[in-house]
Structure 1
Amino acid sequence: MLKSNLKIIVSIFPEKAQECGLMCSMLNTCKNITAIEINASCPNIYESILENEKKVIQICNIAKHQAKHPLILKIGYSHSINMIQTVSQHIEAIHAINSVPWPIVFPNKKSPLENYGGGGVSGPIIAEFSRKKVSELVKKTNLSIIAGGGIASHNDIKIFQQLGAKACSIGSAFFRPWKPNRIIK
C-alpha cells in the first residue's frame, strides 16, 4: 500500500502514553499517510473512563509534538466533552463514535462479553446515541467531525451531514460486503 497512491489514515493507541512519541516518529517517514487516528474508543478496556481520559490527554499532547501528520481522535460514547475540549488544541478532527457500552444500550441485561470488559454495541441500534454525540460535538467544539456508529443507509449519512459532520465512517455494515456500496450511492 505504501507504494501506491492510496491515502492512508493510520489508527494507533499505545498501551503506555510514552510509546506514542516513538509511534509518531516512525510514521513521520511514511509519505502516503493522510492522518494519524488516536483510537481511544475501544469498549473493552479494563481501565475506567476517567483513567482512559487522562491517558488520552497525555497521548494527544505527545502526538502533537511528535507527529508531522494531522491528528484525529476517535472517541467512544462515554468520553466527556471536557476531555475533548482539553485535547482540541492538539487535534484536527474527532471521529465519533465506535460503539456504545453494553450497559448503556441494555441497562437491564447482562452482556455476553461481561468477562472480557463488557463489550460494545454497534450497528443501527446505536444510531440515536451517535447522533446525540455528534450533535453535542458540533455545538461544543470547533473541530471537524467524522461521524460513525449506526450508519445503515444513505439517509443516515444525510442526517449526520445535517447535524454538521464533515465526513462519515462505516463499520458494522461491512459484515454485509455489498451494503457499503448501497449506502454511499
Structure 2
Amino acid sequence: MSEPIPESIPTSQDPRSKRPTKRRALTPLSEQANEIKTLFKDPSKEIRIPEPSKARTLAPPPEIIANVQGSSAGAGSGEFHVYKASRRREYERIKLMDEELKKEKDELEFNKAREEARRKDEEKTEKNRKKREKRKKTKGKKGKTGVEDGGEVVADQEMAANGAAKGTSADGVTGQEAKVDGYDNGEVPGVIIHDED
C-alpha cells in the first residue's frame, strides 16, 4: 500500500467490494465442519461415496515370446522402446509379487505375535486364578493364633508344641531357660498379623 487511495487497496480488503470473502479452513476440524454444513444445506441431495481402491493386478507374462529383444547396440531405435516397455512391465510384476509376499509375511508375523500375547495373557490369568483359589482355601482354615495354615509359622508352632511335650522350646532351650527368656514352652516368638479383608 503505497498511497491511501481506493485504487491501492486490495480488492479482497476493499469495503466497497461486493465479492464474497474467501473462507479458508484453518484447521482440519473447521474443514470437516464446513463439509458437514455443505451436506446439510440440501439433505435430499444424494451423497456419492467413492468406491474403495482396488488392488493392483497385472496381466500374467506371455507364455511364448516370439521376438526377444535386447538392449544391445545392434537393435534398431524402434526396438528400444519395445524393450523398455517390456522391461517396465516385468519390473512392475516382480514388484507386485514382492509386495504380496511382504504383506503375507507381515500378516503371518502379526498373527503369531497376537497369538503369543493371547497365550501369555491366558497363562497369567490362570496363574492369578490359582492364587486366588489358594488364598480363598487357606483363608477359611485359620490356626489357633489366627495365622493362616501352610506357612512357616505353623511349622514353628508344631515344633514348639512338640518341644513343649519334650520339655524344650522351639529354640531348643530347655525348661527353666525358656521361662527365663520370657516365653512359655508352647509359645513362639514373632509377630502375628491378622488379615481383616
Interval containing the TM-score (normalised by the shorter chain): under 0.3
Alignment TM-score, normalising by the size of structure 2: 0.16
Larger helix share, 1 or 2:
2
Greater relative CO, 1 or 2 (CA 8 Å, sep 6+):
1
Alignment TM-score, normalising by the size of structure 1: 0.16
Larger radius of gyration between Structure 1 and Structure 2: 2
